[in-house]
Amino acid sequence: MKKLLNVGFSVLLFGGLLVSCNDDDYHTIESIDKIKIDSVKIVNDTMDVFAIQSIKTYSTYPSQCEGFYGYDYIYNNNLERTVTSYKYITNGPCTQGNYVGANQINFSPQRKGTYTFKFWNGGNNWITKTIVVE
Local confidence pLDDT in tens for the 134 residues of the chain: 555 445 454 444 444 444 444 445 678 999 999 999 999 999 999 999 999 999 999 999 999 999 999 999 999 988 999 999 999 999 888 888 999 999 999 999 999 999 999 999 999 999 999 999 99
The backbone torsions φ and ψ at residue 94, rounded to the nearest 5 degrees and listed phi first, read -130, 150
Q: Give 84's strand partners.
A: 72
Provide the Cα torsion 41, 45, 49, 54; round to 10°: -10
Give pLDDT, residue 92. 81
Give pLDDT, residue 17. 42
Calpha distance 48→10 (Å, rounded): 61
Calpha distance 70→12 (Å, rounded): 41
Calpha distance 103→88 (Å, rounded): 14
